[in-house]
Amino acid sequence: MENVYSALMQALQLTIVVAGAPLLTGWVRTLKCWMQGRRTAGLLQPYRDLARLFSKDIVLAENASWIFRFAPYVVFGATLMAGAVIPLISFDLPLGATADIIALVALFATARFFLALAAMDTGTAFGGMGSSREMTVASLAEPAMLMSIFTVSLASQSTSLSQMAHVITSTPLVLRPSLAFALLAFILIAVAETGRVPVDNPATHLELTMIHEAMILEYSGRHLALIEWAGMMKLLLFSSIGIACFFPWGISGHGDPLMLPPAFVILAAKLALIGIFIVLVETGLAKMRLFRVPEFLGSAFLLATLGMLSFFILE
């Protein structure tokens, strides 16, 4: 009986990740339109975009190898796998035990590695440029990300996300400067990893500034749909990692189905708030020059390290 319940939870979680991700993106875009005084395309526009792309034919470059065709599935699969591990509404995740936070970072890295390979595969100038930029950002963001998450791991003495969130909700609230630093660092890294302003602009196709978009220029049809969908899921997943590490209150406990509806509402409210935060930041800030990005991520690393140090010094 317990196994069935866990499997159901896992399925519910995956459904939320896959089906809810375009909604979050739609929410962010709608809010952004409101903030900038434009007419909105509606909350459901990302779903319509995906449906349109799935119904279109694929145009392949003549010299595209198997990597190019293979990469969208790897990207989507790795992101989906990551979505199975992060607790969204319940700690009851049978797959949660299979991958801890280090494996999670590795999953995202796998997706990015294949995307960069595929972008170089067709041999266009933009693809190579995009890959090189993406890898530069990634090589700086990943150590900082690990540092920031390790600070939370130190405080909760576990590297499994479910366990970390569980420990934080069950211990009494104390002021922890280390977690505040880790949260600040995590916000900076999440901005870089999900390709939002001020590091990358998801809406631009300007050759001087684009990072992520430059890599997927050659994709079309359902390949493009899968990559776009994976990108939306990544935004949702990074928000959920932040929620699970720093604001896990409201996630339902083990074997507690009555807590699920409130947990779902709380999750939706938290994600909506994160959306508002993203839009405020994106409307208030301009995209920074590419050469300033290493400094931006350097300060994220500094904050994460300070968080870890203040855990040892002050707590």
Partner 1 sequence: MTVSFAAQINSVLAALILLASFGLLVQRRIYGLLHIFAWQGLLLSISAAVVGYSAGLHHLYISAALTLSLKVIALPYILYVLIHRLKIHREVEEVVRIPTTMLIGIALVVFSYHLTAPITELSDLVTRSTLAVALATIMLGLLMMITRKKAVTQIIGFLAMENGLFFAATSATYGMPLVVELGVALDILIAAFIFGIFFFQIRTTFDTLDLKAMERLKEEE
| 285 belongs to the binding site for partner 1 (CB under 8 A) | no
Asked if 236 and 20 count as a contact pair (C-beta separation under 8 A), the reply is yes
42 binds partner 1 (CB under 8 A): no
Candidate residues 180, 259, 272, 276; the one interacting with partner 1 per rule CB under 8 A: 180
Q: Does 288 bind partner 1 (CB under 8 A)?
A: no
The reply to whether 150 sits near partner 1 by the rule CB under 8 A is no
Q: Which is nearer to partner 1, 110 or 305 (CB)?
A: 305
Q: Is 310 in the site for partner 1 (CB under 8 A)?
A: yes
Q: Hey, what's the torsion of the CAs at 62, 109, 210, 56, to 10 degrees? A: 40
Range 56-95, binding partner 1 (CB under 8 A): none
CA 89/CA 21 separation, integer angstroms: 15
- Return all residues near 220 (Cβ < 8 A) that are at least 6 apart: 53, 56, 57, 58, 59
Cis before 72? omega within 30:
no
In the chain the first and final C-alpha atoms are separated, in Å, by 42
Judged by CB, which is closer to partner 1: 58, or 313? 313
- We find the least distance from the C-beta atom of residue 107 to partner 1, in angstroms, to be 29
- In the bound state with partner 1, the residue whose beta carbon lies nearer, of 112 and 176, is 176
Question: What is residue 40's DSSP assignment?
Answer: P
Q: Does 4 help bind partner 1 (rule: CB under 8 A)?
A: no
| Number of other CB atoms surrounding residue 238 within 10 Å | 23
Q: Which stretch in 74-82, 86-94, 255-263, 293-301 sits in contact with partner 1 by CB under 8 A?
A: 293-301
Angle, CA of 88, 19 and 258, to the nearest 5°: 45
Count interface residues toward partner 1 (CB under 8 A).
20
**Does residue number 31 form part of the binding site for partner 1 (CB under 8 A)?**
no
Q: Rule CB under 8 A: which of 158-177 touch partner 1? A: 174-175, 177
Binding-site member from 7, 135, 283, 295 for partner 1 (CB under 8 A): 295
Number of continuous H segments (helices) and E segments (strands) in the chain: 11, 0
Q: Is 181 in the site for partner 1 (CB under 8 A)?
A: yes
* Residue at token pair 């899968």: 226
Q: Residue numbers of the site for partner 1 (CB under 8 A)?
A: 174-175, 177-178, 180-181, 294-295, 298-299, 302-303, 305-306, 309-310, 312-315
